[in-house]
């Protein structure tokens, strides 16, 4: 088995953004390679604030009506359970 595939089977790739130090928001890479996010109690979404498919969360628009996540972002790996 390819080591990259083995690694991704054990971990989620996630991206964290912060809004003015008061709120945070997570994005997760899906098995198809695209990214999704879940705003609060809303359904999972695959589009950024501009309505574009999220191919790279670092380049996505994070300026939503209630929060503008402009304090940078960080890519992390989270172990699957």
- Which band of pLDDT confidence, cut at 50, 70 and 90, is reported for residue 1? very low
Task: Considering only residues 40 and 4, tell me which one the structure prediction assigns the higher pLDDT.
Answer: 40
Structure tokens at 67: 């929060």
- Model confidence at 28: pLDDT above 90: yes
Report the relative pairing of strands 35-37 and 23-29 from DSSP bridges.
Answer: antiparallel
Stated pTM of the model: 0.84
- Model confidence at 22: pLDDT above 70: yes
* 31-73 residue pLDDT tens: 888 999 988 888 999 999 999 999 999 999 999 888 899 888 9
């Amino acid at each position: 088995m390819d080591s990259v595939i083995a690694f991704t089977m054990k971990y989620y790739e996630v991206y964290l953004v912060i809004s003015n130090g008061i709120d945070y928001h997570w994005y997760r890479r899906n098995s198809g390679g695209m990214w999704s996010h879940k705003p609060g109690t809303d359904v999972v979404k695959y589009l950024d604030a501009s309505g574009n498919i999220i191919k790279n969360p670092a380049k996505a628009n994070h300026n939503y009506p209630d929060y503008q996540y402009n304090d940078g972002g960080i890519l992390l790996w989270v172990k699957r359970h």
